[in-house]
Chains A and B, each alone.
Chain A
Amino acid sequence: NAGVMQNPRHLVRRRGQEARLRCSPMKGHSHVYWYRQLPEEGLKFMVYLQKENIIDESGMPKERFSAEFPKEGPSILRIQQVVRGDSAAYFCASSRRMTEALFFGEGSRLTVL
């Protein structure tokens, strides 16, 4: 049973470009979460999705960031017009039920030049 799969693992973008990060949850998991980790910090919640629905995006910056989890295919976190402050590790996590621990992917490390 494959774990949470994220790609790309590393992504380099220049300021102003777009970054797309993908996440395939574990089999049987319908809850997907995105977290951001800045260097030397803990993870910060960004968004919680179920299939085709955004349940809570209270941790998402108001502009340039969006997330989706379509009926078919992976969840995508999209960052438009990236800036240096977007450089971070972005982790996706999934769970089957609300009270279960989240299973995290390996993360996508975004570097903005």
Chain B
Amino acid sequence: ELKVEQNPLFLSMQEGKNYTIYCNYSTTSDRLYWYRQDPGKSLESLFVLLSNGAVKQEGRLMASLDTKARLSTLHITAAVHDLSATYFCAVDRGETSGSRLTFGEGTQLTVNP
């Protein structure tokens, strides 16, 4: 059974600081996704990482994937209050068709002014 673990689960940080969220998964997969969820809202796709060594950046967020270590990171640079949300990583089970994602528990990020 595929397991996806995120840490930390709760993160409180000051504006302007940097931090990294980690996502470990238990079985081989080369499709990993990062999503953002605001309270009571849907999930917004942030990054799709499809190969070992993939690195993607959007604004203050950068995501990377190391399939050998079964690890993805979401790095936050110079955090701002608007980044406060819950961030989920999700790993595809690797079926031959369709995307059955297994989600981590989520990292609840609070950025304080």
Contacts and interface: CB of A to CB of B under 8 A. Distances in A.
Interface of A: 31, 33, 35, 41-45, 48, 55-56, 58-59, 91, 95, 98-107
A50 B34 CA distance: 24
Contacts of B33: 101-102
Contacts of B76: none
Interface in B45-60: 45, 48, 50
In this complex, which of B99, B102, B106 has the most chain A Cβ atoms within 10 angstroms of its Cβ?
B99
Interface in B79-113: 88, 90, 95, 97-106
Interface of B: 4, 31, 33, 35, 41-45, 48, 50, 88, 90, 95, 97-106
Given A91-B43, A101-B33, A33 B100 contact: yes
Closest 9 CB pairs of A and B: A42-B103, A101-B45, A104-B43, A104-B42, A43-B103, A106-B42, A101-B48, A48-B98, A45-B100
